[in-house]
Amino acid sequence: MTETHDLSIDQRLALRSAATRLREQFDGVFGRETIELFLHSSYDQFASRSTIPNFLPLLAERFARQRLQALAKVEGHVQDGKPVVLFLCVHNAGRSQMALGFFQHLAGDGAVAWSGGSEPGYEINPSAVAAMAERGIDISKEFPKPWTTEIVQAADVVITMGCGDACPVFPGKRYLDWRLDDPAGKSVEAVRPVRDEIERRIRVLLEELNVPALH
């Protein structure tokens, strides 16, 4: 748990504001203690490897929101029938982020997608960002993040991309292993074929899930 005396005044205020927004969003679903536990543990996930402390409260709020949404589904508070897909790779900086970008772009509100890494990196791969921008999809505001138990439990389909034994395995989940070249250290030109193959697979996946592609 984050020790508040280790935080700057601005960070403490930002976390307090984040907690208020999350309590409003999940009012009647989760209590104050659960929300603050998820927020502060999410903060801790990023604090040890972030080089930009001022962004930490924002990242923590976004990740805590995702985790709370996952927990709500696991506990049966959400029953909207939308399929949930989780994309996992090692650093959550290239392949899984491109897959997430395509899935959200093509599925719209018809499905939910998340991504994570077994060893999250520090930033999204610039070549992946540039390659996706060529398709009109902006993944520059995403951030590498770990997977957590509730996120995996909430997923209907878990797609792994090169994380091997480090990827979590839970009984009763549908697992797909997509063997794709790692974009790490590659130029935009070298990433384009990976991007195009990811798009092809996402379109096939959406058909299997009976989710119409919007584009």
Reply yes or no on whether the pLDDT at 14 is more than 60: yes
* CATH code at position 31: 1.10.8.1060
Residues 125-146: tens digit of each pLDDT:
999 999 999 999 999 999 999 9
**C-alpha span between 90 and 208 (Å, rounded):** 26
Mean pLDDT over 1-21 rounds to 81
In a domain, 1, yes or no: no
Which residue out of 89, 131, 137, 159 is catalytically annotated? Answer: 89
Query: Phi/psi at 184 (nearest 5 deg)?
Result: -55, 125
Residue type, 7: L
Mean pLDDT over 36-55 rounds to 83
Instruction: Tell me, rounded to whole angstroms, the distance of Cα 136 from its chain centroid.
Output: 20
Reply yes or no on whether the pLDDT at 5 is more than 50: no
Residues 26 and 131 placed together within one structural domain of the fold: no
Residues 136 and 209 placed together within one structural domain of the fold: yes
In a domain, 190, yes or no: yes
Residues 49 and 151 placed together within one structural domain of the fold: no
Respond yes or no: is residue 89 known to be catalytic: yes
Domains in the chain, number = 2
pTM: 0.91
Q: What distances in angstroms separate CA 215 from CA 4, 86, 97, 128, 135, one per listed residue?
A: 46, 21, 19, 20, 11
Q: Which of 209, 214, 139, 130 is nearest to 176 (CA)?
A: 209
197 vs 80, higher pLDDT: 197
Respond yes or no: is residue 212 known to be catalytic: no
Residues 51-60: tens digit of each pLDDT:
666 788 999 9
Among 79, 106, 130, identify where a domain stops: 79
Residues 65 and 102 placed together within one structural domain of the fold: no
Which residue out of 152, 157, 158, 163 is catalytically annotated? Answer: 163
Residues 147 and 70 placed together within one structural domain of the fold: no
**C-alpha span between 62 and 152 (Å, rounded):** 17
Bridge-based pairing of strands 157-161 and 112-117 is unpaired
Residue 134: other Cβ atoms inside 10 A: 11
The residue range of the domain holding 196 is 81-214
Residues 185 and 89 placed together within one structural domain of the fold: yes
* CATH code at position 176: 3.40.50.2300
Which residue out of 128, 151, 167, 198 is catalytically annotated? Answer: 167
Mean pLDDT over 195-206 rounds to 98
Residue 208 in tokens: 């299997």
In a domain, 120, yes or no: yes
Among 55, 79, 103, identify where a domain stops: 79
Residue 6 in tokens: 């280790």
